[in-house]
């Protein structure tokens, strides 16, 4: 089982691009944000290339691939043009996620059965390019079993329900995540977690040894407004690696 000190942090910088797009200029720089996150201890950088290009742009992905040192994790839907882009650019990691045009952020995990054949072909195509493919799913046994069947490298457990839960429901959601992580690891999948995690609610998840990596964006970028991005990332990395 993985000790806390070995757990990794992926930093999502989509919200930096959102701020840039609000004015349509070049500031703040997505690349600079990625380099600051690296300096703070990020083990990977995550960006979501949405179909409507509301924040991250194709050019951002290309620049990041050339200039950052840690792996790039590209979140993406099953849209044909996005799949084609990923196969051409070959990021080190891809995380398949659901996508709705009107949502503010990703709502829920991917239903691996809704486009089963397309998903299987896409995972196979990306894997042949030596891209590590993870699937962003809810902590449900049937989804985890399907992730293993289609040959995914990893699953990323959607932690949004846990993050939003209160009282006794929070413990129930935590239990669901724990059971899902155990099943994923048993099936040979790498287990990641993300969505809605912050500097407080992450602590119980650190006690789940099967979770190897956390992908966090909003809470880190929010803290960075007051501390700077390097420090905000460093603080989260310290929590993940020390449990304090």
> Would you please indicate which residues are annotated as catalytic (active-site) residues?
48, 75, 195
DSSP the chain: ---GGG-EEEEE-HHHHHHHHHHTSS-S-HHHHHHHHHHTT-SEEEEE--TT-SS--HHHHHHHHHH-SSPEEEEE-S-HHHHHHHHHH--SEEEE----TT-SS--S---TTTTHHHHHHHHHHHHHTT-EEEEEE-S-HHHHHHHHHTT-SEEEEE-HHHHH--THHHHHHHHHHHHHHHHHHHTT-EEEEESS--TTTTHHHHT-TTEEEEEE-HHHHHHHHHH-HHHHHHHHHHHHHH--
Under a CB-based contact definition with an 8 Å cutoff, are residues 159 and 196 in contact? Answer: yes
CA dist., res. 6 & res. 82, Å (int) = 32
């Amino acid at each position: 089982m993985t000790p806390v000190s070995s757990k990794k942090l992926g930093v999502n910088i989509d919200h930096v691009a959102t701020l840039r797009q609000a004015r349509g200029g070049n500031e703040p720089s997505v690349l600079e944000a990625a380099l600051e996150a690296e300096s703070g201890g990020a083990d990977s950088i995550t960006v979501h290339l949405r179909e409507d290009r509301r924040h991250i742009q194709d050019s951002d992905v290309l620049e990041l691939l050339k200039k950052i040192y840690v792996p790039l994790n590209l979140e993406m839907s099953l849209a044909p043009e996005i799949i084609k882009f990923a196969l051409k650019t070959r990021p080190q990691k891809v995380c398949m996620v659901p996508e709705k045009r009107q949502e503010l952020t990703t709502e829920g995990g991917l239903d691996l059965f809704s486009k089963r054949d397309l998903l299987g072909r896409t995972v196979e195509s990306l894997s042949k390019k030596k891209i590590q493919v993870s699937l962003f799913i809810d902590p449900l046994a049937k989804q985890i079993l399907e992730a293993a069947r289609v040959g995914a490298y990893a699953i990323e457990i959607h932690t949004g329900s846990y993050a939003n839960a209160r009282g006794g429901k929070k413990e129930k959601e935590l239990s669901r995540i724990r059971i899902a992580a155990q099943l994923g690891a048993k099936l040979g999948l790498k287990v990641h977690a993300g969505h809605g995690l912050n500097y407080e609610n992450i602590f119980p998840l650190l006690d789940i040894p099967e979770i190897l990596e956390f992908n966090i964006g909003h809470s880190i970028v929010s803290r960075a407004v007051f501390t700077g991005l390097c420090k905000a990332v460093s603080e989260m990395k310290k929590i993940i690696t020390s449990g304090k």
